[in-house]
């Protein structure tokens, strides 16, 4: 799989593989924080024109989706 093919970007792992190609490894400690830092790193790669707009947009959609899931998990655990 070529992780720079935007149509193949479906999971957080796929986004991590893009970052890995540029020597970027993200581990902050909390999954939601990791997702936020990955989004910042993707923005930087796009600004430097290291990744194209389509790849950047698809990756951001994946990260937004994963971020929403983590927010919902946090809400459910705080209600319990």
C-beta of residue 15 within 8 angstroms of C-beta of residue 63: yes
Instruction: Tell me which residue of 56, 21, 22 sits closest to 39, measured CA to CA.
Output: 56
Task: Detail the DSSP E strand segments found in 1-80.
Answer: none
List pLDDT tens digits, range 35-78. 999 999 999 999 999 999 999 999 999 999 999 999 999 999 88
CATH code of the domain in which 13 resides: 1.10.287.760
Q: Does residue 68 sit within a domain? A: yes
Q: What is the pLDDT of residue 1?
A: 40
CA 10/CA 77 separation, integer angstroms:
26
What's the structural domain count of the chain?
1
Q: Does residue 62 sit within a domain? A: yes
CA 45/CA 51 separation, integer angstroms:
6
Exposed / middle / buried, residue 17 (Cβ in 10 Å: 0-12, 13-18, 19+): middle
Eight-class DSSP state of 43: H
Residue numbers of the domain that contains 14:
6-79
């Amino acid at each position: 799989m070529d992780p720079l093919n935007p149509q193949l970007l479906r999971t957080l792992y796929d986004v991590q593989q893009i970052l890995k190609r540029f020597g970027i490894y993200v581990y902050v400690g909390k999954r939601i924080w990791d997702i936020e830092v990955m989004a910042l790193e993707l923005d930087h790669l796009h600004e430097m024109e290291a990744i194209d707009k389509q790849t950047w947009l698809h990756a951001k959609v994946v990260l937004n989706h994963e971020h929403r899931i983590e927010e919902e998990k946090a809400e459910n655990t705080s209600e319990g």
